[in-house]
Amino acid sequence: MVPGHSEWKRNLLLVGFMGAGKTTLGGILSKRCRLDFVDTDQLITEKFGLSVADIFSRHGENTFRAAETELLHDLAARCRHSVIATGGGMVLKDENWRAMRQIGPVVFLRADEQELVERLSSATGRPLADDSGREAILERYRQRLPCYLRADLVVETKNQAPLEVVDAILGGLERVNPKWLF
Ligand code: S3P
């Protein structure tokens, strides 16, 4: 039995701050390993029929967070053979971590702070970043860092091409636990 993971379901979860590349890398990784790709933000927006920004503005952040937790419980019950890209705030609740541990190994994509700020200032649609200045973004990131570091594996993405990051994820997971061979 793998500590913290009751059953090997051939899933893996990507966590990290907004703009870390979870969705992009998750897509590449899933194709490479012939796994399905799940994006929690996308499933939640489909459920509400609204963008993330509209869910926040019409229903509030708490409603979005509750939907995230409910979705994780659902994935813990049924998800197999999938790479799951999570929203940047998924790591904030202990309850989410308990569900994630049942789903599979958790990988933190650790991006360079400057790159994060640059990516977030050139993109929109993220209610917790759109109106935030550089310092507020960095403060949020630094506050959350201990939560991201609860991951089974930390992969640095700075100066790495996507395929190199994918290799680092797969090699790293195998080193941490040879059972997690994708
Ligand atoms: C959030 C990150 C977003 C999305 C929502 C909240 C966060 O996902 O879930 O805007 O709290 O960090 P991405 O990390 O995919 O941008």
Domain-wise residue ranges, the chain: 14-174
Per-residue pLDDT reduced to its tens digit, 55-84: 999 999 999 999 999 999 999 999 999 999
Expressed in angstroms and rounded, the spacing between residue 37 Cα and the centre of ligand 1 is: 17
Q: Please report the atom of ligand 1 found closest to the CA of residue 40.
A: 9
Rounded CA-CA distance 64/95 in Å is 15
Enumerate helices (H) and strands (E) in the chain, giving the number of each: 8, 5
Per-residue pLDDT reduced to its tens digit, 30-55: 999 999 999 999 999 999 999 999 99
Ligand 1 site, residue 89, Cβ cutoff 6 A: yes
Ligand 1 site, residue 16, Cβ cutoff 6 A: no
Expressed in angstroms and rounded, the spacing between residue 1 Cα and the centre of ligand 1 is: 32
DSSP 128: T
Ligand 1 site, residue 26, Cβ cutoff 6 A: no
Interhelix angle 40-48/61-78, rounded to 10 degrees, is: 110
Name the CATH topology of 14-174. Rossmann fold (3.40.50)
Rounded CA-CA distance 12/83 in Å is 5
Please state whether the predicted TM-score (pTM) of the whole model is above 0.85: yes
